[in-house]
Structure 1
Amino acid sequence: MDRRAAKSLRQRPQRPPAADGGPEVLEFTEVAVPAPQAGEVLVNVGAVALNNTDLWTREGAYGRPDDPKALSGWRGPIDFPRIQGADVAGRVAAVGTSITGGLVGRRVVIDPAIYDTTGPDAHPVGLMGSERDGGYAEYVTAPLERVHDVTESPLTDDQLATLPTAYGTALGMIERGQLRAGETALVTGASGGVGLALVQIARARGAHVLAVSSGSKIDAVRAAGAHDVIDRAGDIPEQVRAVAPEGMGVVLDVVAGELVGEGLPLLREGGRWVIAGALGGYDVAFDVRRLYLHNAQVIGSSMHTPAYFGLLMDLARRAEVQPVVAAAFPLDQAAQAQGELSRREHVGKIVMHP
């Protein structure tokens, strides 16, 4: 690859300057094409998907263990300027030294996680677009072991870009919650990126899927695979009892808040409540007797492991899930795209094209 020719391209990724804040802190600018280091791959971005973590990283909304209201990124302070964007699908443009095997030109998806150790069961402790530069750009680099060849997948680049964070988080929740075929699963926030992924993967696993949604989104959630849809505007526990009086085997929850305390009695004996978000509030209280007297579990789940991401890429190659793309924006409209995401009026995922 001619580095000089590449540098002449309009390298204009989205960068927040040295401050947390609203969409106004996003700056559209030019930077040099990153050079892949030894063991790294340079990817020409075809599509990048948006996630709630983009909003919360930009806002510094994650808090710290010692101060829940402190401005902070996912795992601590963010070094600005930072190119956002965790979810990338594209083609390999160049490789660093020591890499062989004809990867250039292959279509790939990047695992955006930064792990705490090596091995298939490592935990994510950082994220592309947060702890290192991401895919709101024409080019991004990634370690070779995080680049997955999906050239043969029938999914589009837009669909592939939706997978890493949303579907990776969903698969991590389902695996950690040990969802089994024939069990009843309740999915909260079912019209969002992770929620819709949970509905699709749980249905593919053979679960009976109940989903919480509302208004015009209900039909889309049902079309994604939900057997029954619970109206968020009503009494959720009462509706669940009406359609599933035997109780839930697993609750796959990205909302948390008051629903945890209200809904814990809905679990069957040995049931699991898996939490991977706090859209409804992070300050949770529940009757602990409903936990230990029924051998129930409350499980925290943050994204995926390398092994889970490998399973996800197998699903992508076989197109066993069909991601829903709600809207696509050009990269220079990143502020508008994040505004659309924050309004939560869409079903599925929002993507951008460099």
Structure 2
Amino acid sequence: MKAVVTTGNGGYDKLDYRDVPVPTPSAGEVLVQVLAAGVNNTEINTRLGWYSSKVTQGTENLTSNEDEMSDAAETADGGWNDATPFPFIQGTDCCGRVIAVGEGIDSALIGQRILIRSCIRSNGWDSLENIWMASDFDGAFAQFVNIAASEVFPVDCDWSDAELGTIPCAYGTAENMIHRAGVDQNSHVLVAGASGGVGSAVVQLCKRRGAKVTAIAGKSKIEQVNALGADTVIERNDSVLSILGEKSVDVVIDNVAGDAFPEMTEVLKRGGRYASSGAIAGPMVNLDMRTMYLKDLTLIGCTAWDEPVFPNLIGYIERGEIKPLLAKSFPLSEIEQAQREFTEKHHVGKFVLLPPAMTEQQKSHF
């Protein structure tokens, strides 16, 4: 099969589009033909080694700092769970079709179009320990992927494969933060980075719950973020504190961080909740501990998805309660171009990679 193999920490030269063996499902697994695979920050971050404790910059600056990239590669702690299993296949998002099942799995799954839950609670729902497809084992930047049958969710809708490919990582991450932060119809939520894949999902999912949403976006993207349902959009370079004032929002959902972090805690009301699953503008922030404890704030780190998150998303899709935000599709072979455009951040929503269709020889095998 065709696949993109990431060979190590580094630049685009580490993305190798080549032939690799088709995996065989073990007991409890299914083999999925990948129909569409979304592009996310996490794949780029993992390739660059950004999760290493040696890295202190935002992701947009890391590619120009070869020293930090080198340090991350040498310490081998640049993945979500320390070492990344190079060489391996990335691709955290997958819309696909089940084409084979392993021992103990009902063959009725074969032929069903599915989404893969890429975050696996490896020790059960009572533990926050987790592993991720495309960070800890091979993912969806390929024609086929193996996955535990428990992580496969059939979906019945009229969306295209590419549209479904926008959902798993971004919307799962967004719904998890919203769920953990207890967003409801009485919440005023501030969303940083609202034009990105996760941010645009947060806006939609908060509005679905009836919340008031104030979004932050670049000037050129304000109109598109308004169209997602945001009640107010603040231009990215403006002072949130000056516009909203102190103690003005119940929840902040922020995957940007960096220099803007202190204002995020200032605008939170007493007892407010701050949730994050990323830090694209920089992981090192200034926190005034007095602001945190005097205002009784709750800071919520979100990586492990909670049990209701993915079933919720499937229901939202099937009931027409959310819509996909597909910015652009690329052939899988053009992954370098897709990631280059992705890092330029001129788009709103998600980029998706489309693997080649099955060959006649592959079809005869299945």
TM-score (norm. length: structure 2): 0.88
Q: Indicate the residue corresponding to 2:316 in structure 1.
A: 315
SS in 1 for 2:89: coil
1:13 is paired with a residue of what secondary structure? strand
Q: 1:324 maps to what in 2?
A: 325
The question of whether the paired residues in 1 share the 8 Å contact of 2:166 and 2:350 is answered with yes
Q: Distance in 2 between the 1:276 and 1:222 partners?
A: 23
Matches within 5 A, 1:334-349: 334-349=335-350
Which aligned segments of 4 or more residues in structure 1 are displaced greater than 4 angstroms?
Answer: 66-70
The Cα shift of 1:262 comes to 2.2
> 2:38 corresponds to which residue?
49
2: CA distance, partners of 1:101 / 1:305: 28
Structure 1 residue 207 and structure 2 residue 211: aligned?
A: yes
Q: CA deviation at 1:155?
A: 2.3
2:40 is the counterpart of 1:36: no
SS in 2 for 1:99: coil
Q: What is the aligned partner in structure 2 of residue 5 from structure 1?
A: none
Is residue 2:29 matched to residue 1:25?
Answer: no
The match for 2:110 is 104
Aligned to 1:272: 273
Query: For the residues of structure 2 that align with 1:240 and 1:15, how far apart are their CA atoms?
Result: 46
Question: What letter is aligned with 2:230?
Answer: A
Query: In the alignment, is the contact (CA less than 8 A) between 2:92 and 2:133 conserved in 1?
Result: yes
1:125 aligns with 2:130: yes
Q: Give the partner amino acid of 2:220.
A: S
CA distance in 1, matches of 2:238, 2:270: 26
> In structure 2, do the counterparts of structure 1 residues 123 and 307 end up closer, same or farther at CA, with 3 Å as the change threshold?
farther
Kept after mapping to 2: 8 A contact 1:188/1:211: yes
How far is 1:263 from its partner?
2.5
Q: Which amino acid aligns with 2:25?
A: P
Paired residues of 2:120 and 2:151 also in contact (CA < 8 A): no
1:177 corresponds to: 181
Report what 2:359 is aligned to: none
Letter in 2 for 1:174: I
Q: Report SS of the residue matched to 2:353.
A: strand
2:90–2:141 CA contact under 8 A, matched in 1: yes
Is this contact kept in 2: 1:160–1:316, CA < 8 A? no
- d(CA) in 2 for partners of 1:228, 1:147: 37
Q: Any unmatched runs of 5+ in structure 1?
A: 1-10
Using the alignment, how far apart are the partners of 1:238 and 1:97 within structure 2? 60
Structure 2 counterpart of 1:27, one-letter code: D
Match of 1:251 in 2: 252
- Contact 2:247 / 2:266 at 8 angstroms: preserved in 1? no
Question: Is the aligned partner of 1:194 residue 2:198?
Answer: yes
Q: Distance in 2 between matches of 1:234 and 1:268?
A: 20
Give the secondary-structure state (helix, strand or coil) at the position aligned to 2:108.
Answer: coil
* Distance 1:303-1:157 versus aligned 2 partners, 3 A rule: farther
Q: Which structure 2 segments of 5+ residues have no match?
A: 57-67, 73-77, 356-366
TM-score by length of 1: 0.91
Aligned to 1:139: 144
| Cα RMSD (Å) | 1.6
Question: Matched residues in 1 for 2:97 and 2:298: separation?
Answer: 42
Q: Structure 1 residues 198, 73: CA separation in 2 closer, same or farther (over 3 Å shift)?
A: same
Deviations 1:216-248 (A, max 9, x none): 21111110111100001222221223xxx7600
Deviations 1:169-189 (A, max 9, x none): 101110111112121100000
Give the match for residue 160 of structure 1: 164
- Once structures 1 and 2 are overlaid, which stretch shifts more, 278-287 or 344-353? 278-287
* Deviations 1:84-123, CA, capped at 9 Å, x for gaps: 101000111110111125110001000111323123x553
Offset, 1:290:
1.6
CA contact (8 A) 1:113 1:124 kept: no
SS in 1 for 2:130: strand
Q: Which amino acid aligns with 1:84?
A: Q
Please name the residue that 1:7 is paired with: none
